[in-house]
């Protein structure tokens, strides 16, 4: 499986969690386009999901020693890309490898409940 396929599968698998996080943030008064999500699958298979402002996530990624400078710059550029939907940063830790990507969600993000 390529990194791209892994990232796409990861988003699909956690779409309902993404929807829940975004819905909660919107109910708390945050603007949709200002949000960013971090989905991280640890080496042990545990998934950590957070939703915060793009600026907060950008600052967190800037401090993350797992990323070299070129990778960090690509992530930040992805977070800063314009659009009215949240950016999703995916980090999947594997045996000796780290798959990372940024996507801008195009499906339904808001729960109707």
Express as a percent the part of the chain with pLDDT over 70.
85
Q: Which residues pair with 39 in a beta bridge?
A: 49, 90
In three-state secondary structure terms, 100 is: strand
Q: Is the pTM of this model over 0.85?
A: no
- Considering the chain, what is the average pLDDT of its residues? 81
Tokens of 106: 């195009």
Q: Looking at residues 12-33, what average pLDDT do you find? A: 87
Q: Which among 38, 25, 45, 13 has a CA at the least distance from the CA of 103? A: 38
Say whether pLDDT at 113 is over 60: no
> What average pLDDT does the segment 14-20 reach?
84
Name the maximum alpha-carbon separation found in the chain.
41
Task: Please report the pLDDT score of residue 59 as a whole number.
Answer: 92
Helix axes 15-27, 3-13, angle to 10 degrees: 60
54-98, pLDDT tens digit by residue? Answer: 899 999 988 988 888 888 888 888 888 776 778 888 887 877 777
Give domain limits for the chain. Answer: 3-104
Indicate the pLDDT class of residue 109, thresholds 50, 70 and 90. very low
Q: How far apart are CA 93 and CA 99, in angstroms?
A: 7
**Distance between CA 92 and CA 11 in Å, rounded?**
11
């Amino acid at each position: 499986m390529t990194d791209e396929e892994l990232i796409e599968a990861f988003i699909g698998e956690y779409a309902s969690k993404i929807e829940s996080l975004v819905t909660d943030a919107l109910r708390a008064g945050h603007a949709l386009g200002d949000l960013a999500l971090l989905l991280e699958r640890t080496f042990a298979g545990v998934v950590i999901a957070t939703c915060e402002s793009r600026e907060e996530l950008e600052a967190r990624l800037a401090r993350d020693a797992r990323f070299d400078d070129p990778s960090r710059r690509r992530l930040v550029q992805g977070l800063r890309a314009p659009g009215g939907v949240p950016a999703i940063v995916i980090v999947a830790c594997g045996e000796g490898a780290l798959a990372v990507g940024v996507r801008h969600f195009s499906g339904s993000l808001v729960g109707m409940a």
